[in-house]
Amino acid sequence: MNGEGMRLCGILLAGGQSRRMGGGDKCLRALAGKTVLARIIGRIGPQVDTLVLNANGDTARFAEYGLRVIPDAIGDFAGPLAGVLTGMEWASQHGHPTNGPDKGGEVTVDSGYTHILTVPTDAPFLPTDLVERLAAPIQAGEADMTCAMSDGRTHPVVGIWPISLAGDLRRAMVDEDIRKVDRWTARHRLAEVPFGTEPFDPFFNMNRPEDAQQAAEYAALVDR
């Protein structure tokens, strides 16, 4: 992990209904021999202390990935902000597992996570230096939270969030019915971190059936 000084829990957001893809789990679709979810795990897993999947419904469909699966903390498919809240609350309640020679090889729990990283599960080519770059403004004291941007567009749920704001976010969602990410982040110091788009935009997502061919071409570049 490259977020030095942070203890990061990665939250893979798969709680949506995938209407534009005709329903089902976009992340379980095959892409050049691997599922989209497997590709994301391979890119994000090494950058965080642990990975958790935020998804609703029967968890058995994700059994082969060996991830903890947690449903939205707020019902009625309240959007990606619900996934952020879910991740914050889960991370705040669970310690950071460690083991090592000084612990006799036994798993122990230390003081806990400080932040979560959230990413969508329809973006199979996320940067392998995502955490390092998103963490920098927070570590420099310039921001409370960060999100990625590319090609002039902000990616509001690709970001690092402090779990200390879980209570603030819950109040905003429950008491004020806030659902849009930017309405809530406007209350805090948010830094938008730019990423390049060569040879392609790393935040390309598979939202529609017609995106599959483009994704296959990008996968050929990544896998060669």
166: tokens are 């879980």
Q: Which amino acid is at 6?
A: M
H or E segment and range at residue 9: strand 8-13
Contact 188, 165 (CB under 8 A): yes
Long-range contact list for 214-219, CB < 8 A, 24+ apart?
215/31, 215/124, 216/31, 216/32, 218/124, 218/125, 219/31, 219/32, 219/39, 219/124, 219/125
Residue 15 in marked binding region: yes
Residue 54 in marked binding region: yes
Residue 122 in marked binding region: yes
Q: Which amino acid is at 59?
A: T
Output DSSP code: residue 177.
-
Q: Which residues pair with 50 in a beta bridge?
A: 9
Residue 67 in marked binding region: no
List phi, psi (to 5°) of 97: -75, 135
Closest CA to 196 of 138, 125, 136, 144: 125
Contact 29, 206 (CB under 8 A): yes
Instruction: Write the Ramachandran bin of 210: left for phi over 0, alpha for psi from -120 to 50, otherwise beta.
Output: alpha
Residue 26 in marked binding region: yes
Binding residues: 13-15, 26, 54, 72, 122
Binding residues for GTP: 13-15, 26, 54, 72, 122
Binding residues for Mg(2+): 122
